[in-house]
Structure 1
Amino acid sequence: MLRAVTLVCAPTPGGTHPDPVAACGELLANGSQLDPLAAPAADSVCTREWNPMTVTADGVWEGRRLNYTYTFANPCGLRNTTGVLFDF
C-alpha cells in the first residue's frame, strides 16, 4: 500500500503529516542525516521475516535537494523506529 504525506517546516510546521511539530523537530536535530530516524528503538523486538517496506523523503532542506530512501525488513521494523518522521 502506498501512503504519502507532506511536511512543511518553515515558517511554521504544517502539512498533512500527523505530527508536523515533532517531525520538523527531528529534521532540525538531524539535518539531512535521516538514518538515525530509521534506526530501531532500543526496546523493539521484531521477527526476522522478509516483507520489505520502503520509505522515501524527497524535498528541499536548507536550500538543498534531499532524497532519502530506506528499506525496512518488515512492517514491524517501520513501526518500531526511534523517530516519528516516517510514522504515518
Structure 2
Amino acid sequence: MRYIHNTVAAVATASALLLTGTTATGVAQAAQPTQQPAQQPVQAKSLYAPSALVLTIGMGETAATATVQRAVTLTCAPRPEGTHPSAAAACTELRTVDGQFTALAKKESHKMCTRQWNPVVITAAGVWQGKRVDWSALFGNPCEMEGSMADSTVFSF
C-alpha cells in the first residue's frame, strides 16, 4: 500500500512539472538563490526643474477637512499639460507671479456677494520649479472666491 501511495505522489509531481514545462534541472535551478544585479543610480529624465501640481476647490473651513468638489492636475515643465482645461494659460500665469499663489487673488473684489457663510477652500499641492508647494486659501462663499480669483485662470476649472 505504501508503494502505491509513493508512486501516485511521484506521478502527480512529475505531471505537474510537465504541465508547467519545468524539468528536474529547472526545479534545482529555481531552488537556488539568484543574485540580484546592482542597483543603478537614478538618472534625471529632464533638464527642467519639476513643476507638477494638484489644484482643488472644496467646501469646508480648512484644507484638511474640506470636501473636494473639483480637482485638476497641472504640469508646467517641460511643457504645459495635465487635466487643467487651460494648462498653458495657467502655467504662464504662475510663471508671471513666480509661483506665488497668494499673488493670484485680488485684494479687493468688486463683485457683489451676500454675507452667507458657506466656506470654500482652494489648494495647490505638489512641486513648483523644484520646490515643495502646500498652499491654501479660504473664502466665505463661492461668490467671494469667484470675485477674488476672477482674473486668474489657475483656479478656473
Gapped regions of structure 1 (runs ≥ 5):
none
SS in structure 1 at match of 2:123: strand
SS in structure 2 at match of 1:5: strand
Q: Give the aligned CA root-mean-square deviation in angstroms.
A: 1.7
Shift of 1:54: 0.1
Which residue number in structure 2 is paired with residue 83 of structure 1? Answer: 152
Q: Which amino acid aligns with 1:87?
A: S
Alignment of 1:9-48 (within 5 A): 9-39=76-106, 42-48=109-115
Comparing 46-55 and 34-43, the one that deviates more: 34-43
Which residue number in structure 2 is paired with residue 67 of structure 1? Answer: 134
Comparing 9-18 and 40-49, the one that deviates more: 40-49
Shift of 1:49: 1.6
> Could you tell me the percent identity over the aligned residues?
45
Shift of 1:70: 0.3
For the residues of structure 1 that align with 2:88 and 2:102, how far apart are their CA atoms?
19
Q: Which amino acid aligns with 2:154?
A: L
- Where is the helix percentage greater, Structure 1 or Structure 2? 2
- Contact 1:38/1:70, CA 8 A, preserved across alignment: no
Instruction: Give the TM-score normalised by structure 1.
Output: 0.87
For the residues of structure 2 that align with 1:36 and 1:49, how far apart are their CA atoms?
25
Shift of 1:75: 0.5
Which residue number in structure 1 is paired with residue 74 of structure 2? Answer: 7
Gapped regions of structure 2 (runs ≥ 5):
1-66
